[in-house]
Amino acid sequence: MTSAATPRIDVLHVTEAGGGGVARHLGLVLPALSQRGLAYGLFAFGQRLGDGFRVSAEAQAATGLLSALAFAPGADVLAAGVRLRSLVQQWQPRILHLHATRAGLAGRLALRRNRPPAIVYSPHAFGLTPGSTVRRLALKLSERRLARWTDRYALVSDAEYNDAMLLGLPASQCVVCENGLPDDFAGTLLDRAEARKRLHAPLDSIVLGVPCRLAKQKNLDCLLRALAVLRQTPSGLPPNFRVFLCGDGPEEQALRRLVTVEKLDAIVHFSGLIPDLSRLLRAFDLAAIPSSYEGLSYALLETLAAEVPLIASNIPANLPRPELHECLWTFKAGDEQDLARQLAAAFQNQDERQRRAQLGAALVKKNFPLNAQINALTALYQQLDNSGRS
């Protein structure tokens, strides 16, 4: 039992990934879940607790959207597990929802002998890529063992579900709760002029936006090499062309070196982490998502919803509906020559860019509502709560 001074927690969310897509996921999902009558808490740990993530979480706690909040800056998986056991004892949540790899390890290892609570795990991408035989085998062995301490996998896309099946995880434990956007998302967007002002992008430039963390799996080196290839073709790069890498991450220095090697310094801009980037997307004439793997990218959904033409790698997670083939320019993941060809095709036809962008916005609005994801998560929590994790 909890004391009067102890918050009542139905579901405690745990993450180490305080940036990128997981932070965006929690920023959308937690406020929406709180309106369904359950009490939610958040425990965030590790090296990636950016100021924007903390400020947002603290604001949610101050307004009552979060019933409890705790941070452990710099904590590794083992230290986070110790702190988590203490929080579980204090708050007594009925369900623990773990987000991304390190939180998945910390929560399942720390509480494998001390349950309840029920444990839900959302990988937000298992990290499988074509030809990754050794990685796949290691992940398969470890995740199948961890599955014994996992009541449900809450997966953000059908592509992630298919990866779970490739890993041999029990289908009965896997539920798709597909990422989505609020109905009023388009209404939050700034117009082109204001967005460019905030991005420090000239109004008369052609802007390619890259809204993602600067991490290995985002394949940004492929994009930079593709730009170098395109520059050498007869069509070349558009006049007054700029590339904005909108994010931070561990690959920044390597990417800066590559920009210098490829002599792209004049056109590539490192914008750093932009907390309200989702509102600035109309600053872009074109966007690129060259990832080697994803769960279901919010950058993809938001860019399409903003009616921004989009080039994306042809991984399954970037094509969650067959109709998206008509909305995107796709290229073979990791192939800079193919990416250069698709960039050239997109640059050459403004009317086609507009047509595809309009199709994409309509498709996202119809097929990816946040409310559907909240319905799926709420049903999952209620099922676990009512059935005693059966």
CA 322 from chain centre, in angstroms, equals 21
> What pLDDT, in 10s, does the model give residues 154-170?
999 999 999 999 999 99
Q: What domain range includes position 165?
A: 11-180+370-387
The pLDDT of residue 385: 83
| 337 and 273 housed in the same domain | yes
**Is 63 among the domain residues?**
yes
Give the mean pLDDT of 327-335: 96
Binning pLDDT at 50, 70 and 90, where does residue 3 land?
very low
SS (H, E, C) 212-259: CCCCHHHCHHHHHHHHHHHHCCCCCCCCCEEEEECCCCCCHHHHHHHH
| 25 and 153 housed in the same domain | yes
| 337 and 356 housed in the same domain | yes
> For 264-301, b where at least 16 C-beta lie within 10 A, e where not — what string?
beebbbebebbeebbbbbbbbbbbbbbbbbbbbbbbbb
Domain count across the chain: 2
Give the mean pLDDT of 31-48: 91
Q: Is the pLDDT of residue 389 over 50?
A: no
Q: Is the pLDDT of residue 328 over 80?
A: yes
Task: Give the mean pLDDT of the chain.
Answer: 92
Using a pLDDT cut of 90, give the percent of the chain over it: 83
The pLDDT of residue 235: 87
| 33 and 126 housed in the same domain | yes
Q: Is the pLDDT of residue 390 over 70?
A: no
**Is 381 among the domain residues?**
yes
| 380 and 314 housed in the same domain | no
The pLDDT of residue 17: 80
Q: Is the pLDDT of residue 4 over 50?
A: no
Q: Is the pLDDT of residue 2 over 50?
A: no
The pLDDT of residue 92: 93
| 175 and 222 housed in the same domain | no
| 321 and 378 housed in the same domain | no
> What pLDDT, in 10s, does the model give residues 50-102?
768 888 899 989 998 899 999 999 999 999 999 999 999 999 999 999 999 99
The domain that holds 38 is classified in CATH as 3.40.50.2000
| 342 and 243 housed in the same domain | yes
**Is 239 among the domain residues?**
yes
Give the mean pLDDT of 29-54: 88
**Is 324 among the domain residues?**
yes
The pLDDT of residue 196: 97
- Residue-wise DSSP of 148-196: GG-SEEEESSHHHHHHHHHTT--GGGEEE----B-TTGGGGPPPHHHHH
Q: Is the pLDDT of residue 187 over 90?
A: yes
Torsion of CA 201, 203, 204, 206, to 10 degrees: 50
The pLDDT of residue 5: 57
**Is 6 among the domain residues?**
no
8 DSSP assignment: P
> What pLDDT, in 10s, does the model give residues 211-264?
999 999 999 999 999 999 999 998 899 999 999 999 999 999 999 999 999 999
| 236 and 325 housed in the same domain | yes
| 173 and 315 housed in the same domain | no
| 101 and 144 housed in the same domain | yes
Binning pLDDT at 50, 70 and 90, where does residue 137 land?
confident
Q: Is the pLDDT of residue 115 over 80?
A: no
**Is 4 among the domain residues?**
no
Cut 0.75: pTM above it: yes
The pLDDT of residue 139: 83
Give the mean pLDDT of 104-124: 90
| 202 and 168 housed in the same domain | no
Binning pLDDT at 50, 70 and 90, where does residue 116 land?
confident
**Is 244 among the domain residues?**
yes
**Is 3 among the domain residues?**
no
Q: CA nearest 369: which of 97, 35, 60, 32? A: 32
The pLDDT of residue 130: 66
Using a pLDDT cut of 70, give the percent of the chain over it: 96
